[in-house]
Amino acid sequence: MIIPAIDLIDGAVVRLYQGDYAQKTQYQLDPVDVVNTYADAGAKWLHIVDLTGAKDVEKRQLTLIKKMVDTGRMSFQAGGGIRTEADVAGLLDIGVKRVVIGSLAVKEPELVKSWIVKYGPEAIVLALDVNINAEGDKCIATHGWQEDSGVPIEGLLTDMLSVGAKHVLCTDISRDGTLQGANAELYDEMKKAFPSVVWQASGGIGSLDDIARLGPTNVDGVILGRALLEGKFTLEEAIACWQDA
């Protein structure tokens, strides 16, 4: 499945380069218009990152996200600095289907596991962003990629699967925002190692060829952000390419 992504800062559609707020591109687009445009093109899901809420939980853009959800045009998964159960409940209460949880899964795994049990595995997406070193170790980065946790993705996933975790959005940080192609080898390896996981590939996709290259990995979803916003290809083309991959 192709899943378009939208990052929001103070109501505006933006993209960050490798998670860096100082390297921000702002697009002159209305978020609700983007929802309708992507739905018209055939998208079934939208991935929302609340970058304002990630920096300041008091400023979560719930009103805007609710307006997007209330279009009823598709299903939504959303995240950005999820730290408490109130954050999870707040998004679910406004109709978001899946809450995306990143750093907290590393810092407080027992808490996140309790949410998977309470709200069900369909309600939680684990966003596991990895740094891959020269030895091939895949360690999860936290705090907006500013810190390397030293925690291998395989160990954390095994722990989360013990309570039924299902959805994982995995990003190779070195590729994100670069349009230099996704790390197909990473997703191929992860899908084989954890076949029960519904994998979403994210980061680096800049062409239809990049999408086609992910087909043989059997990854379940592909997140598209900057490439769509910058018109590298259309969402219709991406969906057709994925169906043929």
Question: Which residues does the annotation mark as catalytic?
Answer: 7, 129
Question: Hey, what amino acid is at 205?
Answer: I
Task: Please list, in sequence order, all residues whose beta carbon lies within 8 angstroms of the beta carbon of residue 16, skipping any fewer than 6 positions away.
Answer: 7, 23, 24, 25, 51, 177
Distance CA 64, CA 98 (A): 17
H/E stretch holding 88: helix 85-93
Q: Which of 85, 45, 92 is nearest to 66 (CA)?
A: 92
DSSP state of 124: E
DSSP classification of residue 64: H
List phi, psi (to 5°) of 127. -95, 100
Closest CA to 105 of 134, 69, 142: 142
Are β-strands 45-50 and 20-27 bridged in parallel, bridged antiparallel, or unpaired? unpaired
Distance in angstroms (rounded) separating the CA atoms of residues 172 and 48: 18
Residues 234 and 61: their CA atoms lie apart, in Å, by: 27
| Separation CA 124–CA 115 (nearest Å) | 8
